[in-house]
Amino acid sequence: MLTKLDNHVSVIDTYALGRPNVVAAYLVTGKEKALIDMGYQSSAALVIRDVEKSGSAVDGLDYLLPTHVHLDHSGSCGTLAESFVGASIRVHPKGEPHLVDPTKLWKGATELFGDELMQRFGMPQPIEKSRLRVIADDAEIVLGSGLTLRSLWTPGHASHHLSYELEGTGIVLTGDAVGIRYPEFPVLIPTTPPTSFNFKLTVESLERIRRIKPTKLLTPHFGLMTNAADLIDHNLEVLREWKARIEGMVRNGNSQDEITRTLTEKTAQRAGMPVTGIPDYLSVSIRTSVLGFLRYLKASN
């Protein structure tokens, strides 16, 4: 479902695994159109439909901009590339090989999520290398009508992660540089997946976004956040809290399952609900984030 946020920016709810308000994509429209993030491959048909009905005077799509190559952000990129043959696809150099050949990415994600869930995500379509252009830090994409996107290298969640500033608007499209906060479950969860998470770089990425002094953050999980400064502060607070708690439990000899159960219980307490009230997709996110922290801490020692 496509919803206009203002005259130039719309959010597309990709209905990840059939659920609303879980994975967002953003359509930015000047004289040209850019789609920032695009959801799982299983959401491709819905995203294509919403782009086509976006009402712009410009036909098609000019840019496909996955913030990074994790499946909930780039999974449908290959399918969209086949539908929008004129679109320029921009990706960080470290992400490019995974769009050309998603086999390694698929294998790693399958080890983390399991075969059943991966089939629901959908297998990404490979993209011809000639369709791709690498884009790193501080690059401009001029869309016309006074709109320019500027790339921000924001590693931490992933070394190939880019956020985008929509210059002169106070908007930053964050990708997973910020944590998860769903409308129906407004408790912040860090996005700290294995094997790419780096605590130090995550903090530095948040500080970089803060220095831009945005007023609005457009987040993939999920939606528009207008209290940008407060949200960045809260992200930093929660990251440090999780790190301290997990470090302490590791020292005490707690297992991965015990740590995950404790963090899940703490999350439920903050939401004022029983653990059984936490939706399954959020439980998966908590487990993934715990595993990322554990691998980071082990590698740091």
Instruction: Quote the Cα angle for 222-225-229, to 5°.
Output: 130
Query: Is the separation of the CB atoms in 239 and 199 below 8 Å?
Result: yes
Q: Is 100 exposed, middle or buried (0-12, 13-18, 19+ CB in 10 A)?
A: middle
Query: Is the separation of the CB atoms in 143 and 31 below 8 Å?
Result: yes
Whether pTM exceeds 0.75? yes
Query: Is the separation of the CB atoms in 88 and 135 below 8 Å?
Result: no
Sign of the torsion angle spanned by Cα atoms 224, 226, 228, 230: negative
Q: For residue 159, which of 91, 94, 64 has the smallest C-alpha distance?
A: 94
Q: What is the pLDDT of residues 183-237, one digit of tens each?
A: 888 899 999 999 889 999 999 999 999 999 999 999 999 999 999 999 999 999 9
Residue 265: the pLDDT is: 95
Q: Which CATH class is domain 2-227?
A: alpha beta
Q: For residue 277, which of 178, 182, 171 has the smallest C-alpha distance?
A: 182
Q: Is 14 exposed, middle or buried (0-12, 13-18, 19+ CB in 10 A)?
A: buried
Span 15-43, average pLDDT? 96
Which SS3 state, helix, strand or coil, does residue 248 take?
Answer: helix
Instruction: Look at residue 299 and tell me whether its pLDDT is greater than 60.
Output: yes
d(CA 191, CA 300): 18
